[in-house]
């Protein structure tokens, strides 16, 4: 791509950060959702023609990092039932205003333009939260979303926590508390971590439990791990950047996987976090299962 990305747009004063700090980063990070402001709006690397070049490059060199679909989507639709278009990602971007598309450019930080953004965001986040992110984070990446007007992004949960920055257009995102067991049951979380990424199901009668954020250019929202959410795009083309973080600590996932097995055996396992002693015992007990799974996949047991 031709445009080199500086830390911040030239129009901003020296020393201006990409993300504007507020006290909620330290108090709520990876616990609760919260809004924030950013200064990346209007940067040329987020223009459609630049993103079209990136999508075309991905389709030819690393297609696994590119996802796109098109059509009418229901808030509770499964990912594996989403209609896939018979045209290229470049064509999807060219038709983005009318084709009902959702285009996802994963690992955009492999390109230097966006790698610079990721590095700067991580440094700022470490400052804001007081956490040693290099020690606790396993995966860090930039994901870019290009969305057609009025398009819905289906209800789901993620294994990463993230910062969603709105660059162009507007949207409403509904985010639920991951500890609300009316909204998200223990069984759904266990299935998500074990066998089915589509396990959480949207319950329209509980929509009032969500915090709804209106995202416009320059605004953003933090989404903690496993917080259910869904998105309704506005009447314009939307461009968003997601800064994703996945933890090195696998205890959360392994405890839910073991509870999934125990529940299949007819038991009623204690949810993670209820008893530190039980969590420690389970984390040791689950290791042979994890090792066997890794060995079967040709990995080191502890990978």
Three-class HEC string of 214-259: EECCCEEEEECCCCCEEEEECCCCEEEEEEEEEECCCHHHHHHHHH
Cα 125 to Cα 132: distance, rounded to the nearest angstrom: 10
Return the CATH number of 19-247, one of 2.120.10.30, 3.40.50.880, 1.25.40.340, 2.60.120.10: 2.60.120.10
List the one residue out of 141, 218, 204 whose CA is nearest residue 174.
Answer: 204
Cα 148 to Cα 127: distance, rounded to the nearest angstrom: 35
Predicted local confidence at residue 107, as pLDDT: 96
Q: Which residues 6+ apart lie within 8 Å of 101 measured at CB? A: 68, 69, 70, 85, 92, 93, 95, 146, 147, 148, 151
Could you give the residue range(s) of every CATH 2.60.120.10 domain in the chain?
Answer: 19-247
Predicted local confidence at residue 296, as pLDDT: 56
Window from 46-50, 112-116, 175-179, 248-252 with minimum mean pLDDT: 248-252
Rounded to two decimals, what is the model's pTM? 0.88
Strand locations in the chain (E) = 19-20, 34-38, 66-70, 101-105, 137-147, 152-156, 161-168, 171-175, 211-215, 219-223, 229-233, 238-247
Edge to edge, the sheet with strand 211-215 lists 152-156, 229-233, 171-175, 211-215
Q: What is the mean pLDDT of residues 175-195?
A: 96
Cα 223 to Cα 30: distance, rounded to the nearest angstrom: 7
Q: What is the mean pLDDT of residues 235-256?
A: 88
**How many percent of the chain have pLDDT more than 70?**
88
Window from 34-48, 121-135, 239-253 with minimum mean pLDDT: 239-253
Q: Quote the tokens at residue 60.
A: 């030819």
pLDDT (tens digit, 9 = 90+) per residue, 32-46? 999 999 999 988 889
Please tell me what DSSP assigns to residue 298.
T
């Amino acid at each position: 791509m031709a445009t080199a990305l500086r830390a911040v747009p030239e129009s901003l004063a020296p020393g201006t950060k990409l993300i504007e700090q507020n006290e909620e980063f330290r108090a709520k990070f990876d616990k609760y959702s919260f809004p924030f402001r950013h200064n990346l709006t209007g940067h040329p690397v987020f223009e459609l023609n630049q993103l079209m070049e990136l999508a075309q490059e991905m389709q030819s060199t690393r297609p696994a990092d590119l996802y796109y679909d098109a059509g009418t989507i229901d808030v509770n639709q499964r990912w594996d039932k989403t209609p896939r278009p018979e045209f290229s990602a470049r064509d999807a971007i060219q038709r983005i205003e009318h084709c009902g598309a959702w285009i996802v450019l994963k690992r955009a930080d492999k390109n230097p333009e966006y790698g610079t953004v990721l590095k700067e965001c991580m440094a700022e986040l470490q400052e804001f939260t007081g956490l040693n992110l290099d020690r606790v984070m396993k995966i860090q990446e930039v994901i870019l979303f290009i969305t057609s007007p009025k398009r819905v992004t289906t209800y789901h949960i993620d294994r990463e926590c993230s910062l969603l920055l709105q660059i162009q257009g507007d949207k409403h995102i509904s985010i639920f508390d991951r500890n609300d067991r009316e909204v998200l049951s223990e069984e759904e979380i266990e299935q998500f971590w074990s066998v089915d990424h589509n396990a959480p199901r949207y319950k329209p009668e509980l929509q009032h439990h969500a915090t709804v954020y209106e995202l416009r250019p320059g605004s953003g929202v933090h989404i903690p791990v496993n917080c259910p959410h869904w998105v309704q795009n506005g009447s314009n083309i939307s461009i968003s950047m997601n800064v994703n973080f996945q933890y090195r600590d696998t205890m959360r996932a392994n405890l839910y996987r073991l509870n999934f097995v125990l529940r299949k055996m007819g038991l009623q396992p204690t949810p993670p976090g209820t008893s530190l002693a039980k969590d420690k015992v389970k984390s040791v007990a689950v290791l042979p299962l994890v090792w066997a799974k890794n060995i079967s996949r040709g990995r080191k047991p502890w990978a």
